Amino acid sequence: MPRLALRPEFEWLQGEMENFAFPDGSFDYVIHLATPSAAEVGAGDTALALTALQGMHRVLQFARHCGVRRLLLSSSGAVYGRQPEALGHIPEDYNGAPDPCQPMSAYGEIKRMSELMCALTPEVECVVARGFSFVGPYLPLSDKFAIGSFIRDAVGGGPIRIRGDGTPLRSYLYASDMAIWLITLLVKGKPNRPYNVGSDEAINLGGLARTIAAASDVTVEIAQLRATGTAERYVPSIDKVRNELGLSVTVTLASALHRTIEWARQIPSNPRHNQESAFTK
């Protein structure tokens, strides 16, 4: 993204997350967003898990070295493990945990360990943002995220393909709301306390795909028959950020999808064949 990289308000430091050289000068705030994705960790690469934790250690070292006022850690709703059937919206005080026998749970465990490392560094005031699912410009239009692959298929002429049965429930917070929430948490959030960051408007993946398809005049193909039992759910409670910080979802899901689809249509090359060059990770 050279047009962003060349903006004058940014300075860039080159290095690996686990051993970057500390820059000179003083810094008031640190926002730690660098991490492998759940899909990358779930692929079974232990080196990614170690790098993420070493990177967390290095960021905390930097925060201590600079005497920063506050650090915001980007954690994840994956720390809760599987959402129980009776729990429509998962709150921050839910004490579940990822299943260590499941490969995809490694991501949640990395986030849990990162939160613990913050708690074990009392000289750094840390605020924890547990992110759920998001949508907006610059979202990778790839199979890395279901909603990204749906939009890619739609702008490519369809059909939108769902590999499963379409029953898992998700919610999506638009990028501008996410940015506002993170900055508010950085400045006003209570230290050493987690806050859910996401929308509480649930939609199943089948409904999401059909909504995107209707906006693009394409069809939806669902690979599997509807499974019996309870649908997987990944939807946060956001009562804490509402009540403590006055935050809210200001962009509806319909508007968020419209904006993201329109952005995707402006990409000059076909996103089906140019995902890596069109998007940063």
pLDDT at 199: 98
pLDDT at 45: 66
Tokens (6 digits) for 256: 């968020």
Task: Tell me how far the alpha carbon of residue 253 is from its chain's centroid.
Answer: 16
pLDDT at 104: 66
Query: Which candidate, 145, 147, 148, 108, places its Cα nearest to that of 130?
Result: 108
What letter would DSSP give residue 228? S
The rounded distance, in Å, linking the Cα atoms of 173 and 190 is 22
| 9, 127, 156, 195, 199 from 238: Cα distances, Å | 33, 16, 35, 8, 7
Tokens (6 digits) for 18: 């686990």
| DSSP-assigned beta bridge partners for residue 220 | 160
Is 147 in contact with 171 (CB distance < 8 Å)?
Answer: no
SS3 148: helix
Tokens (6 digits) for 271: 């996103």
Q: Give buried/exposed letters for 120-133 (b at 16+ CB in 10 A, else e).
A: ebeebbbbbbbbbb
Q: How many residues does the chain have?
A: 281
| DSSP-assigned beta bridge partners for residue 19 | none
Question: Using alpha carbons only, how large is the chain's radius of gyration in Å?
Answer: 19
The rounded distance, in Å, linking the Cα atoms of 146 and 140 is 10
Per-block average pLDDT, block size 10, for the chain (281 residues)? 84 87 92 81 75 94 94 96 93 90 80 95 96 94 90 94 92 98 97 96 96 94 80 95 97 97 80 37 26
Which residue type, as a one-letter code, is found at position 156? Answer: G
Domains (range + CATH), the chain: 28-278 (3.40.50.720)
Bridge-based pairing state of the strands 169-170 and 203-204? antiparallel
The rounded distance, in Å, linking the Cα atoms of 64 and 143 is 38
pLDDT at 275: 40
Bridge-based pairing state of the strands 220-222 and 160-162? parallel
